[in-house]
A = this chain, B = another copy of it.
Amino acid sequence: MDLKRLSKHLGLSQTTVSRALNGYPDVSAATRERVTNAAREVGYSPNPLARRLAKGRLEAVGVIMSVGVGNFGDPFYSEFLAGVAEVFHQADMDLLVVAAPTGEEELSAYRRMVEGRRVDGLIVARTRTKDPRINYLLERNFPFVTFGRSGESAQHAFLDMDNEAGFIQVTERLIDFGHSRIALINAPEDLHFALLRRHGYERALRDAGLECDPELIVEGDRGEVDGHRLAERLLGLDRPPTALLCASDAMALGAMRAVKECGRTVGTDVSIIGYDDLPFAKYTEPPLTTLHQPIRPAGAHVAEMLLSRISGSTIEDLQDLWQPRLIVRESDGICHSK
Protein backbone atom coordinates (compact mmCIF):
# COMPACT_ATOMS: atom_id res chain seq x y z
CA MET A 1 0.00 0.00 0.00
CA ASP A 2 1.43 3.34 -0.96
CA LEU A 3 0.67 6.95 -0.28
CA LYS A 4 -1.16 7.45 -3.53
CA ARG A 5 -3.61 4.65 -2.96
CA LEU A 6 -4.09 5.54 0.65
CA SER A 7 -4.91 9.14 -0.15
CA LYS A 8 -7.22 8.14 -2.98
CA HIS A 9 -8.93 5.76 -0.64
CA LEU A 10 -9.42 8.58 1.82
CA GLY A 11 -10.45 11.12 -0.76
CA LEU A 12 -7.61 13.39 0.26
CA SER A 13 -4.51 14.64 -1.45
CA GLN A 14 -1.16 12.98 -0.92
CA THR A 15 0.03 16.22 0.57
CA THR A 16 -2.55 16.19 3.29
CA VAL A 17 -2.11 12.56 4.12
CA SER A 18 1.63 12.95 4.27
CA ARG A 19 1.41 16.01 6.44
CA ALA A 20 -1.16 14.41 8.70
CA LEU A 21 1.08 11.43 9.24
CA ASN A 22 4.12 13.57 9.86
CA GLY A 23 2.51 15.73 12.46
CA TYR A 24 2.30 19.01 10.60
CA PRO A 25 0.05 21.52 12.35
CA ASP A 26 -1.87 22.56 9.27
CA VAL A 27 -4.27 19.66 9.22
CA SER A 28 -7.39 19.48 11.29
CA ALA A 29 -7.60 17.14 14.22
CA ALA A 30 -10.48 15.27 12.65
CA THR A 31 -8.64 14.68 9.40
CA ARG A 32 -5.50 13.61 11.17
CA GLU A 33 -7.44 11.10 13.17
CA ARG A 34 -9.12 9.72 10.09
CA VAL A 35 -5.81 9.41 8.30
CA THR A 36 -3.96 7.82 11.17
CA ASN A 37 -6.64 5.22 11.60
CA ALA A 38 -6.86 4.39 7.96
CA ALA A 39 -3.10 4.09 7.77
CA ARG A 40 -3.06 1.66 10.63
CA GLU A 41 -5.92 -0.36 9.22
CA VAL A 42 -4.47 -0.89 5.81
CA GLY A 43 -1.02 -1.32 7.26
CA TYR A 44 0.53 1.60 5.49
CA SER A 45 4.11 2.43 6.20
CA PRO A 46 6.04 4.85 4.06
CA ASN A 47 8.73 3.55 1.79
CA PRO A 48 11.92 4.56 3.54
CA LEU A 49 13.84 4.86 0.29
CA ALA A 50 11.40 7.34 -1.14
CA ARG A 51 11.23 9.24 2.09
CA ARG A 52 14.95 9.51 2.38
CA LEU A 53 15.39 10.52 -1.20
CA ALA A 54 12.86 13.27 -0.82
CA LYS A 55 14.12 14.49 2.53
CA GLY A 56 17.75 14.30 1.60
CA ARG A 57 18.64 12.49 4.77
CA LEU A 58 19.96 8.96 4.80
CA GLU A 59 18.68 8.01 8.23
CA ALA A 60 21.52 5.58 8.50
CA VAL A 61 24.85 5.34 10.19
CA GLY A 62 27.68 2.92 9.81
CA VAL A 63 30.40 1.13 11.64
CA ILE A 64 33.29 -0.55 9.97
CA MET A 65 34.73 -3.45 11.91
CA SER A 66 38.44 -3.76 11.46
CA VAL A 67 38.91 -7.47 11.39
CA GLY A 68 42.21 -9.20 11.56
CA VAL A 69 42.81 -12.70 10.40
CA GLY A 70 41.87 -15.29 12.91
CA ASN A 71 41.47 -13.11 15.93
CA PHE A 72 38.50 -15.23 16.69
CA GLY A 73 37.17 -15.07 20.12
CA ASP A 74 37.38 -11.36 20.36
CA PRO A 75 34.07 -10.54 21.94
CA PHE A 76 34.59 -6.83 21.57
CA TYR A 77 32.45 -6.18 18.53
CA SER A 78 29.67 -8.48 19.69
CA GLU A 79 29.19 -6.39 22.75
CA PHE A 80 29.93 -3.05 21.26
CA LEU A 81 27.58 -3.55 18.34
CA ALA A 82 24.84 -4.77 20.62
CA GLY A 83 24.98 -1.46 22.44
CA VAL A 84 25.24 0.59 19.29
CA ALA A 85 22.54 -1.27 17.43
CA GLU A 86 19.99 -0.98 20.14
CA VAL A 87 20.22 2.78 20.30
CA PHE A 88 19.93 3.30 16.57
CA HIS A 89 17.06 0.91 16.39
CA GLN A 90 15.20 3.02 18.91
CA ALA A 91 16.01 6.12 16.94
CA ASP A 92 14.67 4.48 13.81
CA MET A 93 18.00 4.73 12.08
CA ASP A 94 19.56 1.99 10.05
CA LEU A 95 22.89 0.66 11.18
CA LEU A 96 25.17 -0.49 8.40
CA VAL A 97 28.11 -2.64 9.27
CA VAL A 98 30.94 -3.67 7.06
CA ALA A 99 34.05 -5.62 7.88
CA ALA A 100 37.37 -4.74 6.37
CA PRO A 101 40.92 -5.66 7.22
CA THR A 102 43.07 -2.79 8.44
CA GLY A 103 44.80 -1.07 5.56
CA GLU A 104 44.00 0.26 2.16
CA GLU A 105 40.84 -1.73 1.79
CA GLU A 106 39.61 -0.39 5.07
CA LEU A 107 39.95 3.16 3.90
CA SER A 108 38.10 2.41 0.71
CA ALA A 109 35.26 1.04 2.79
CA TYR A 110 35.11 4.40 4.52
CA ARG A 111 35.12 6.20 1.23
CA ARG A 112 32.34 4.05 -0.03
CA MET A 113 30.26 5.00 2.98
CA VAL A 114 30.78 8.71 2.84
CA GLU A 115 31.31 9.45 -0.82
CA GLY A 116 28.71 6.89 -1.79
CA ARG A 117 26.27 8.76 0.44
CA ARG A 118 25.19 5.73 2.37
CA VAL A 119 25.23 7.09 5.89
CA ASP A 120 24.81 10.31 7.83
CA GLY A 121 27.54 9.46 10.26
CA LEU A 122 30.11 6.90 11.28
CA ILE A 123 31.42 5.25 14.37
CA VAL A 124 35.04 4.26 14.44
CA ALA A 125 36.47 1.88 17.00
CA ARG A 126 39.94 0.55 17.67
CA THR A 127 41.49 3.93 17.05
CA ARG A 128 45.14 4.31 16.29
CA THR A 129 47.45 7.16 17.17
CA LYS A 130 48.06 8.02 13.56
CA ASP A 131 44.75 6.98 12.13
CA PRO A 132 44.15 7.51 8.41
CA ARG A 133 40.44 6.88 8.85
CA ILE A 134 40.18 9.75 11.25
CA ASN A 135 42.23 12.03 9.06
CA TYR A 136 40.07 11.17 6.13
CA LEU A 137 36.82 11.88 7.95
CA LEU A 138 38.22 15.04 9.43
CA GLU A 139 39.24 16.43 6.08
CA ARG A 140 35.87 15.59 4.55
CA ASN A 141 34.29 17.15 7.57
CA PHE A 142 32.06 14.14 8.00
CA PRO A 143 30.21 13.51 11.29
CA PHE A 144 31.70 10.70 13.33
CA VAL A 145 32.54 9.70 16.85
CA THR A 146 35.20 7.32 17.95
CA PHE A 147 35.49 4.83 20.71
CA GLY A 148 39.00 5.55 21.83
CA ARG A 149 41.09 8.63 21.37
CA SER A 150 43.66 9.23 18.67
CA GLY A 151 46.41 11.64 17.78
CA GLU A 152 43.75 14.08 16.63
CA SER A 153 41.40 13.67 19.55
CA ALA A 154 41.07 17.38 20.10
CA GLN A 155 39.25 17.68 16.81
CA HIS A 156 36.66 14.95 17.10
CA ALA A 157 33.98 13.51 19.31
CA PHE A 158 35.01 10.49 21.32
CA LEU A 159 34.29 8.26 24.22
CA ASP A 160 37.27 6.57 25.74
CA MET A 161 38.23 4.64 28.79
CA ASP A 162 40.81 6.40 30.89
CA ASN A 163 43.53 3.92 30.07
CA GLU A 164 46.25 6.00 31.60
CA ALA A 165 44.50 6.29 34.93
CA GLY A 166 43.68 2.59 34.83
CA PHE A 167 47.27 1.62 34.32
CA ILE A 168 48.53 4.04 36.89
CA GLN A 169 46.20 2.40 39.32
CA VAL A 170 47.27 -1.18 38.64
CA THR A 171 50.93 -0.28 38.45
CA GLU A 172 50.74 1.49 41.79
CA ARG A 173 48.99 -1.51 43.18
CA LEU A 174 51.87 -3.72 42.15
CA ILE A 175 54.38 -1.24 43.49
CA ASP A 176 52.56 -1.23 46.79
CA PHE A 177 52.87 -4.98 46.82
CA GLY A 178 56.59 -4.45 46.73
CA HIS A 179 57.24 -5.22 43.09
CA SER A 180 59.98 -3.25 41.51
CA ARG A 181 60.49 -5.11 38.28
CA ILE A 182 57.12 -4.91 36.59
CA ALA A 183 56.80 -5.88 32.96
CA LEU A 184 54.25 -4.51 30.55
CA ILE A 185 52.93 -6.94 27.95
CA ASN A 186 51.24 -4.43 25.75
CA ALA A 187 49.11 -4.43 22.63
CA PRO A 188 50.72 -2.93 19.52
CA GLU A 189 51.39 0.67 20.32
CA ASP A 190 49.99 2.10 17.15
CA LEU A 191 46.68 1.39 18.85
CA HIS A 192 46.27 4.56 20.81
CA PHE A 193 44.96 2.91 23.92
CA ALA A 194 48.12 0.86 24.14
CA LEU A 195 50.21 3.98 24.06
CA LEU A 196 48.18 5.52 26.84
CA ARG A 197 48.49 2.40 28.91
CA ARG A 198 52.22 2.54 28.62
CA HIS A 199 52.16 6.17 29.66
CA GLY A 200 50.18 5.27 32.74
CA TYR A 201 52.57 2.47 33.54
CA GLU A 202 55.65 4.64 33.13
CA ARG A 203 54.15 7.49 35.02
CA ALA A 204 53.41 5.34 38.05
CA LEU A 205 56.87 3.89 37.92
CA ARG A 206 58.50 7.29 37.72
CA ASP A 207 56.34 8.73 40.45
CA ALA A 208 57.48 5.91 42.70
CA GLY A 209 61.08 6.58 41.80
CA LEU A 210 61.48 3.23 40.12
CA GLU A 211 63.58 2.42 37.15
CA CYS A 212 61.72 2.13 33.89
CA ASP A 213 63.54 -0.67 32.13
CA PRO A 214 62.74 -0.72 28.41
CA GLU A 215 63.58 -4.41 28.40
CA LEU A 216 60.42 -4.97 30.38
CA ILE A 217 58.12 -3.42 27.82
CA VAL A 218 57.05 -5.75 25.04
CA GLU A 219 54.15 -5.92 22.67
CA GLY A 220 52.16 -8.40 20.61
CA ASP A 221 48.77 -8.71 19.09
CA ARG A 222 47.75 -12.32 19.16
CA GLY A 223 46.13 -12.64 22.56
CA GLU A 224 46.92 -15.87 24.35
CA VAL A 225 49.67 -16.86 21.96
CA ASP A 226 51.68 -13.68 22.25
CA GLY A 227 50.94 -13.40 25.94
CA HIS A 228 52.54 -16.80 26.35
CA ARG A 229 55.46 -16.14 24.08
CA LEU A 230 56.31 -12.75 25.51
CA ALA A 231 55.97 -13.82 29.13
CA GLU A 232 58.25 -16.73 28.44
CA ARG A 233 60.84 -14.37 27.08
CA LEU A 234 60.52 -11.97 29.99
CA LEU A 235 60.87 -14.71 32.55
CA GLY A 236 64.03 -15.86 30.87
CA LEU A 237 65.71 -12.51 31.42
CA ASP A 238 68.73 -12.16 33.69
CA ARG A 239 66.71 -10.05 36.02
CA PRO A 240 63.21 -11.28 35.32
CA PRO A 241 60.14 -9.30 36.32
CA THR A 242 58.10 -10.32 39.31
CA ALA A 243 54.90 -8.90 37.91
CA LEU A 244 53.32 -8.95 34.47
CA LEU A 245 50.89 -6.27 33.50
CA CYS A 246 48.93 -7.42 30.45
CA ALA A 247 46.97 -5.41 27.93
CA SER A 248 44.21 -7.99 27.80
CA ASP A 249 42.84 -10.94 29.69
CA ALA A 250 43.69 -13.11 26.73
CA MET A 251 47.34 -12.16 26.98
CA ALA A 252 47.21 -12.60 30.72
CA LEU A 253 45.96 -16.13 30.21
CA GLY A 254 48.87 -16.93 27.94
CA ALA A 255 51.22 -15.35 30.43
CA MET A 256 49.84 -17.48 33.25
CA ARG A 257 50.69 -20.55 31.32
CA ALA A 258 54.23 -19.36 30.80
CA VAL A 259 54.67 -18.67 34.49
CA LYS A 260 53.47 -22.11 35.45
CA GLU A 261 55.57 -23.77 32.80
CA CYS A 262 58.72 -22.39 34.34
CA GLY A 263 57.69 -23.78 37.66
CA ARG A 264 56.59 -20.67 39.46
CA THR A 265 53.20 -19.91 40.81
CA VAL A 266 50.97 -17.10 39.75
CA GLY A 267 49.96 -14.66 42.46
CA THR A 268 52.79 -15.40 44.84
CA ASP A 269 55.94 -15.85 42.74
CA VAL A 270 54.79 -13.64 39.97
CA SER A 271 51.79 -11.36 39.85
CA ILE A 272 49.63 -11.01 36.77
CA ILE A 273 47.01 -8.43 36.00
CA GLY A 274 44.82 -8.38 32.92
CA TYR A 275 42.43 -6.00 31.24
CA ASP A 276 38.86 -6.48 29.93
CA ASP A 277 37.32 -8.67 32.61
CA LEU A 278 36.15 -11.29 30.18
CA PRO A 279 33.93 -13.92 31.73
CA PHE A 280 36.67 -16.50 31.73
CA ALA A 281 38.83 -14.25 33.90
CA LYS A 282 36.92 -15.36 36.94
CA TYR A 283 37.69 -18.95 36.16
CA THR A 284 41.38 -18.93 35.45
CA GLU A 285 43.72 -20.35 38.05
CA PRO A 286 44.12 -18.37 40.02
CA PRO A 287 41.24 -16.08 39.14
CA LEU A 288 42.52 -13.06 37.31
CA THR A 289 42.78 -9.58 38.72
CA THR A 290 41.80 -7.24 35.94
CA LEU A 291 40.28 -3.94 34.87
CA HIS A 292 36.68 -3.93 33.85
CA GLN A 293 35.25 -1.82 31.06
CA PRO A 294 31.56 -1.78 30.21
CA ILE A 295 31.63 -2.32 26.46
CA ARG A 296 27.94 -2.56 25.77
CA PRO A 297 27.04 0.67 27.57
CA ALA A 298 30.00 2.27 25.87
CA GLY A 299 28.60 1.26 22.50
CA ALA A 300 25.23 2.67 23.42
CA HIS A 301 26.78 5.90 24.58
CA VAL A 302 28.85 6.33 21.47
CA ALA A 303 25.71 5.81 19.42
CA GLU A 304 23.92 8.51 21.33
CA MET A 305 26.84 10.82 20.89
CA LEU A 306 26.74 10.28 17.15
CA LEU A 307 23.06 11.03 17.08
CA SER A 308 23.59 14.37 18.75
CA ARG A 309 26.63 15.07 16.62
CA ILE A 310 24.53 14.58 13.52
CA SER A 311 21.90 16.89 14.82
CA GLY A 312 24.48 19.57 15.36
CA SER A 313 26.07 19.24 18.76
CA THR A 314 29.51 20.70 19.03
CA ILE A 315 32.56 18.53 19.41
CA GLU A 316 33.57 19.99 22.74
CA ASP A 317 30.41 18.66 24.32
CA LEU A 318 31.10 15.22 23.00
CA GLN A 319 34.33 14.11 24.58
CA ASP A 320 33.89 11.69 27.44
CA LEU A 321 36.28 9.68 29.54
CA TRP A 322 35.13 6.71 31.57
CA GLN A 323 37.06 5.10 34.36
CA PRO A 324 37.84 1.40 34.18
CA ARG A 325 37.07 -0.47 37.38
CA LEU A 326 39.60 -2.61 39.14
CA ILE A 327 38.41 -6.15 39.79
CA VAL A 328 40.57 -7.68 42.45
CA ARG A 329 40.92 -11.44 42.32
CA GLU A 330 43.84 -13.66 43.12
CA SER A 331 46.45 -13.45 40.42
CA ASP A 332 48.45 -10.72 42.07
CA GLY A 333 49.91 -10.14 45.48
CA ILE A 334 52.89 -9.33 47.61
CA CYS A 335 56.30 -9.61 46.04
CA HIS A 336 58.25 -12.44 47.60
CA SER A 337 61.55 -12.10 45.76
CA LYS A 338 64.44 -10.51 47.53
Interface residues of A (CB under 8 A from B): 43, 45, 47-50, 52-53, 58, 65, 67, 72-79, 81-83, 85-86, 88-89, 94-100, 109, 115-118, 223-224, 228, 250, 253-254, 256-257, 260, 278-280, 282-283, 285, 295-296
Contact partner, A82, options B49, B99, B256, Cβ 8 Å: B99
- 30 A-B interface contacts by CB (under 8 A): A43-B115, A45-B115, A47-B117, A48-B116, A49-B52, A49-B53, A49-B58, A65-B78, A65-B81, A67-B82, A72-B75, A72-B279, A72-B295, A73-B79, A75-B75, A75-B78, A81-B97, A85-B97, A85-B98, A86-B98, A86-B100, A89-B98, A89-B100, A89-B109, A94-B118, A95-B97, A224-B283, A250-B280, A257-B283, A260-B285
Interface centre among A67, A81, A97, A100 (most CB of B within 10 A): A97
Contact partner, A96, options B49, B95, B100, Cβ 8 Å: B95
Copies of this chain present: 2
Assess whether A94 is in contact with B95, with CB atoms less than 8 Å apart: no
Distance from A233 Cβ to chain B, minimum over Cβ atoms (Å): 17
In the bound complex, CA of A94 to CA of B283 (Å): 40
Q: Which residues of B contact A256 (CB under 8 A)?
A: 283
- Nearest residue (CB) in B for A94 is B96
Distance from A207 Cβ to chain B, minimum over Cβ atoms (Å): 33
- Nearest residue (CB) in B for A276 is B73
- Nearest residue (CB) in B for A70 is B296
- Nearest residue (CB) in B for A49 is B53
Distance from A290 Cβ to chain B, minimum over Cβ atoms (Å): 12
In the bound complex, CA of A88 to CA of B73 (Å): 22
Q: Which residues of B contact A58 (CB under 8 A)?
A: 49
Contacts A72-B75, A76-B78, A109-B89 given: A48-B118 contact, CB under 8 Å?
yes
